Amino acid sequence: MLSARGQKLAIRGSASTLTVSGDATLLRLLVRNLVENAHRYSPQASTITLSLETASHPMLVVEDEGRGLMNRKSVS
């Protein structure tokens, strides 16, 4: 999928393990959908980065080099 557009997937962070409760199939689908969206809306030869932040609570971060969303309102 990524190689066809010259994109790379980088995984950043420590090798520590984290246990997440939930449906394994749905969690895999969630990550796949996030990566596919990043792939679809990022330019060719770009990098998509996955990282796991665990400071105050676990958070999966997907970063890409796409245009981003304009006039996005933050939801609290």
Domain positions in the chain are 2-64
Tokens of 36: 């596919």
| Alpha-carbon distances of 26 from 22, 54, 75, rounded to whole Å | 8, 21, 23
Structure tokens at 50: 């996955």
Instruction: Determine contact, residues 60/37, Cβ cutoff 8 Å.
Output: no
Beta strands in the chain (DSSP E): 8-12, 47-53, 59-63
pTM for this entry: 0.76
Instruction: List per-residue pLDDT tens for the chain, 76 residues long.
Output: 888 899 999 998 766 677 788 999 999 999 999 999 999 999 999 999 999 888 788 888 999 998 877 666 655 5
Torsional sign, CA 18, 19, 20, 24:
positive
Residue 23's pLDDT is 96
pLDDT of residue 76: 54
